Structure 1
Amino acid sequence: MQDAQTPPCQQDVFGILELIQRIGSYLHPSDLFSCVQVSRHWNSSLIPILWETIDDSMLSWQKAVRQQEDDMRLGGHGSQNSIRNLFVKHGCHIRHLRLHWRTTLDAACSGMHCSGLRSLRIGRIRHPQIQQPEHDWMADLDRQEQDEMTTLRWEIAMSDISTVASSLPFPTRKAALGRTLAQQELDWSTSKHFWTFLRNNRQLKSLCLNKSLDEFLEDVSVPYLVDTLASLKDLSELENNYIAIDLDQILGRVSNLKRYNSMFSPTGSGVSNQTSLQLRSAGFLGVCAYREFLRILSRAPNLEFLSVGGVSVIGGVDSTDAANIMNDRPSQLATLRLGFHSKTLLDVHMNDVFSWIPHLTTLTITQLVPSTAQSLSTFCTNLETVYEPHKGALSASPGQLTPMATPALDLLLMNCPTLKKFDGIRHVLSGQIWEEPWVCQGLNFLRCRVRGVQRLSPQEQERYSVIDSTGDRTLLSEDDSRLVVSHTVSMEQQKKIYERLATLTKLCVVDLGAEYRRLHRDYEMAFDEYLHVNRPAHDTLELTLESGLGLLGNLKGLQVFGFEGMDHRIGQNELQWMALEWPQLQVMRGFHDAFPPRIDYERRKAELREMFAMLRPDVKHQGVERGYSTHAGRA
């Protein structure tokens, strides 16, 4: 039997450079590593792809770094040289570099071997748990001589970079803070190499600087840092968590910047009025003064996204000043994220804030209050999405009273016809809102709570079932008559709620549930068979066909239905109805198994989940802690 041979045409196909590289771009690094060992031709074709992206947080790099640190503790240098040699040999292929270790940062910055980067991300840098031992000869010097020697060696170490830079990079030497001179010299070397490395990568498009660089780099001057950033002509994305920089300098010097994020508060000198036409997105974790907030909108007229950790009224601005800052031109801002902010600002300035951003479509806010909702309804006529993040349980105690209705949500539903998504589980719909007209007929995402429903207690419900089964209501006692009336009122009230929800025919997500249990406080175990956990809310919808659930049958596009924390009375009939009437349903939130089934309520949930799985095995069951990013209903 003759050996099988690869046809010549197939050999030609496997030798096509473009085909090999195209396939290689879709392979996992481990598979790529196997492919480069197939042949010299494949090796030369795929090595650039294998080394295109380097992330030292991956396990393979962590092992190499730890091995090097172990060698350093033993006084060896083999591992250090091997890591550096990798950058020497393959640095020319690296285009995207993510660094989290001091060891790999030192290796990458040494020499001119890695100068073709498109993106550089410095994460939280981890240090070796040792520092360089002190020079033996330092022990022969007294304290004054040691200080003089340190100063001399600092001047010599920094002389070469100081003479070539247009601005002085390191005006003063950082305090030793317990570091040996040998360790300081290593840090000085890293500082020089890092900034030279950054300036040599002229084609950088994305850069992230982490605050942890300050732990070992010398204190760089702001003019030198800005000069360095300005020299990167292609830089379009910058995340600066390293040092606070005047925003005017950033916008004025980094001409092609489209995306800027910083952990610091935005501050500007106010001297420059140069605009940045390229900037589309800006984010600041720090608090932003109201005046600076307006200046950002004015300086970046094409800004589409803005996020600030908070807004302060310090340095208040009246309407005339605001008009001057904005040059009487409204902003094109479409997405705004607001963190914690002063109540004074909310009461006094929110009308002014939103009057300058009439094109706003998406708002994320830490706490939505009625004054903000009123301003949104008045000025932001294109508003589509309102999101109020919330984590943790909402119930304060097992016996908590029904929460008050939140007028902020009511105002949006009645006054924002363009609203498509509301995600704020802290907000409650109750009272007369079900009697009022809603103008948001395009709403496709609703996540809030429904409370204030007059429900029979479990004991009353059991008694009513007995009364209803007899069918004879002519000889009822006074208590039983009141029970029948209460049941009738409850059914009428719930049907009004279902009727209102049924008018929103575009709804894809209806999530009326929230986590009501505080695991660290309400979860007690006295004995193996006894668990006490806070009960679900009783004054909410029953979710039964009798109470009007069938009115939601026209929500044919419903994809997510949530009812966690609601004391519902869903049974087999309701499950069969949901399985049939909601053909697009993908996720249910209310039957997940977060707690042990030894709790009666949780045991019932498990039974219902198994029952529904028989009807609709395609539907997933999730907890309320899961996000909505994968669902089509997300606006």
Structure 2
Amino acid sequence: MFADIPELVVLLSRYLTTQDLFTCIRVSSQGYHLFVPFLWHTVDDSTPSWKHILYQCSDPGVRCWESYLGQTLTDADKNKDREWLMHVFRKHGHHIRNLTIHWPMVLEAASMASGCLTLQSLTLEMRTPTLPYSIIPGGGYFGPTMNSPPPSLFPGVAEESDYIQPHFCSWIPEIQKEIKEFGWALTQHYWNLIFRNQDLTRLVLHHPSGFEWNVKSTEVFLRGMTMLKHLKELQGWEFIALPSIWELLAAVPTLESLEAPIDLLPDPLPEVNTTLRTLTVHNALSINSLLDVLGLFPNLSSLTVPMIMVRDAQQPQPQSSRIEKVTSSGSANVLPRVPSVGANLRELVATNVDDYAMLLKLLPDHVELTWFERTKNCMVVPLKLPEHSTRFGVFKAPVKPWYIDEVLEDRPLHDVANELFVTSSRLRVFDSIMHFVHVDEMLRQPWACMGLEWLTCRIVGLDRLKDTEQALVDRVLAPGYTGDLSVEESAAVEKFQRSCAQHHGIYDRLASLSKLKHLELGFENRCQLTYRDGPTYVGADGKEYVKYADPMFDTLELSLASGLDRLGALKGMEMIGFECINHRIGRAELEWMAKSWPKLRLMYGLSKEKQHMLEHNEERTALREHFQQLRPDVVHDSLYNATIGQ
């Protein structure tokens, strides 16, 4: 039986959804013991199911959470869910390997669970609770102890003398006391969970809620980090501003990936670090400091920096004797490009550089440049990069938009994305759904980026027939039709032929990108804030629904009739996305995709709707279920985040 082969069980679990795992553990006792570890292997309390639970575990005084549920919950209900949460972490905590926490209640449950000691990855991104005007005594996040003097919950792990109490001057003394007690309990659970899991390989500390107590000194922070003997990746710290990263690297010599500020390079420069592979810098660097960093981390493969200042640098001078071919941070000199500086660097991620031409001359030829877009329609620098280097390979928008404000009448006449495709021969990734390519412009010139692997971009401007025009075309092109065409019929036929040529041209262009794996052509264009208080209608079931905007009309049809099968050459396709575009995908198209793209693993466009008060779409559901039968290994999801802007 397959249960006797652990490797087969592990392989099977990779293709099971959460609901599938729930079903498996309910089948039999054997299924329970086999699949419970996989069900609890990864826990993220930001998922919708956890949100529903945790809203009910919240402080009863937090009015916005009660209004979210549309009802007033009793204390008995909250206590029941809180007890359930504590119980599941006590029972299943030893299975958890990857844990992401946003909610104080989950932090407490994980910290108190005796078996939650084998985490490999921990992400702590605490959310700031919305406090009421008056806090109900005894209704705090950590139970009735909130009203007593703040205890030391974990002596020897988190001592009050090592932390700084926050001040809330605008609150009355009674509320200040309650908040400080809450913050101290939160801080203790925070650090207790970290230090109890000394086998952590990945730790992400982001966005403290504002109630945690800050670490009082660098020594305290480093003493705690020293306990993590196997830590390889550390992102951010908001509890203490370290003067530099060098003490941290000495305390945690196993670090391979680090996100941190580097305000000043010490003089003399510290010892060379050969362990670090990935570094994300929070602050701007001069070109001299950049070269110093590359020399101090000779095995660095990826460097991310918000800004590189090049123009103030002077002409090259004699090299530093302390570190070969690396300038001293105190000098204002620039070295010529040499192989030993950044010899292993493969990716430089930058948001702003004042002189790309000079920067590219100083870096080794093998370095690939990634450009992160910070503002919409700001691509002036990437367009100029091919003039200086063919090494520009990745363009990304750092934050996914939660919807596209796509109104045909207000759409800009021109977008610069196509210019980048025409000029950048080394472009591998274009990930910005905010940008679009107009079909006529797209087909006017050949693309240079034939190695493109990831394309997230809208293709618009197609001549799509309206229903009345389609009816005319179907009639006059039917076999046996011999009548003379009217002006209206001739116009419809010409539009149909033009649309066919556009579709075939786009499909052929995409098919020529033989390395393409990720193709995302559409995104949510309905802002729920716009429609939340707008007109409603009564559906077939008698319920009230909101009428949202229609899909973007002038987009790809993606039907076999329009030439979709021309994309059959893309055997490496792993993702296809067609959210909110005017597609005509049916069962035949899905069956073709299932057969023609054997590596497909992710689809955006048929997942369950996330919009507010939207009527159930039976056709969409039927298509999703049909494809799930054809390809159960493909995940259906959406980039739309329904929680943003609520």
* Alignment TM-score, normalising by the size of structure 1: 0.60
Return closer, same or farther for 1:626/1:618 CA change in 2, 3 Å cut-off. Answer: farther
Contact 2:373–2:379 (CA under 8 A) maintained in structure 1: no
Cα deviations by residue, 1:98-149 (Å, 9 ceiling, x for unpaired): 99799899999xxxxxx999999987597777568689xxxxxxxxxxxxxx
- 1:527 and 2:533 matched: no
**Are residues 1:476 and 2:485 paired?**
yes
CA separation of 1:622 and 1:124: change in aligned 2, threshold 3 A: closer
The structure whose residues are more often helix, as a share, is 1
1:349 to 336, 355, 358: 355
Q: Report the residue type matching 1:536 in the other structure.
A: P
- Whole-angstrom distance in 1 between the partners of 2:207 and 2:245: 21
Report the equivalent of 2:435: 427
Pick aligned residue for 1:266 from 262, 268, 274: 262
Structure 2 segments unaligned to the other structure (5+ residues): 1-12, 14-40, 59-85, 87-96, 128-140, 151-158, 318-325, 540-544, 642-646
Pair 219,319 (structure 1): closer, same or farther in 2 beyond 3 Å: same
Tell me, in whole angstroms, the C-alpha distance in 2 between the residues paired with 1:592 and 1:172. 47
Aligned 8 A contact 1:281 1:304 in 2: yes
* Letter aligned with residue 346 of structure 2: A
d(CA) in 2 for partners of 1:119 and 1:520? 35
Aligned CA distance change for structure 1 residues 442 and 290 (closer, same or farther; 3 Å)? same
SS state of the match for residue 569, structure 1?
A: coil
1:562 aligned residue? 577
- Contact in 1 for aligned 2:436/2:460 (Cα 8 Å): yes
Change (3 A) 1:400 1:351: farther
Alpha carbons 2:100, 2:123 under 8 Å: kept: yes
Tell me the amino acid that sits aligned with residue 263 of structure 2: T
- The residue type paired with residue 433 of structure 2 is I
Give aligned pairs, total.
516
Q: Which has the larger radius of gyration?
A: 1
Partner of residue 284, structure 2: 288
Instruction: Report the Cα offset of residue 451 of structure 1.
Output: 0.7
1:306 to 291, 303, 306: 303
Which amino acid counterpart does residue 283 of structure 1 have in structure 2? T
- Partner Cα separation in structure 1 for residue 148 and residue 504 of structure 2: 78
Distance 1:531 1:191 in 2: 43
Instruction: Verify the 8 A CA contact 2:602 2:637 in the aligned structure 1.
Output: no
Please say if residues 590 and 621 of structure 1, whose CA atoms lie closer than 8 Å, have aligned partners that are also in contact.
Answer: no
- C-alpha distance in structure 1 between counterparts of 2:633 and 2:121, whole Å: 41
Shift of 1:267: 0.9
For the pair 1:552 / 2:567, whether they are aligned, the reply is yes
Secondary structure of 2:472's match?
A: helix
The correspondence for 1:460, drawn from 461, 469, 475, is 469
Q: Give deviations 1:434-468, integer Å, cap 9, x for gaps.
A: 34333444434332211112233332222222222
Residue 622 (1) aligns with residue 631 (2): no
Task: Report SS of the residue matched to 1:383.
Answer: strand
Q: Which moved more, 1:497-506 or 1:542-551?
A: 542-551
- Which amino acid in the other structure matches residue 245 of structure 1? L
Given that residues 336 and 360 in structure 1 are in contact (C-alpha distance below 8 angstroms), is that contact kept between their aligned partners in structure 2? yes
Corresponding residue to 1:394 among 380, 404, 412: 404
SS at match of 2:524: coil
1:2-81 alignment, distance < 5 Å: none
Paired letter, 1:625? L
Aligned residue number for residue 334 of structure 1: 346
Deviation at 1:535, TM superposition (A): 1.0
Structure 1 segments unaligned to the other structure (5+ residues)? 1-25, 27-52, 67-82, 84-94, 109-114, 136-160, 162-168, 628-635
Mapped to 2, the partners of 1:533 and 1:98 lie a distance apart of 34
Q: Distance in 1 between matches of 2:393 and 2:568?
A: 28
Task: Report how far residue 244 of structure 1 moved.
Answer: 1.0
Q: Which moved more, 1:316-325 or 1:465-474?
A: 316-325
Of 555, 576, 580, the match for 1:540: 555
SS of the counterpart of 1:505? coil
Counterpart residue number, 1:8: none
Determine the C-alpha separation between the residues in 2 that align with 1:611 and 1:106: 43
Report how far residue 392 of structure 1 moved: 1.2
What's the TM-score once normalised by structure 2's chain length? 0.59
Q: What CA distance in whole angstroms lies between the structure 2 residues aligned with 1:386 and 1:573?
A: 34
Take 1:388 and 1:620, find their aligned partners in 2: how far apart are those partners? Answer: 26
Question: Within 1, Cα distance between the matches of 2:196 and 2:572?
Answer: 54
SS at match of 1:456: coil
- How far apart, in 1, do the equivalents of 2:118 and 2:600 lie? 49
State how far apart, in whole Å, the 1-side matches of 2:552 and 2:410 are. 10
Q: In 2, are the aligned partners of 1:287 and 1:311 still within 8 Å (CA)?
A: yes
The alpha-carbon deviation at position 502 of structure 1 amounts to: 1.9
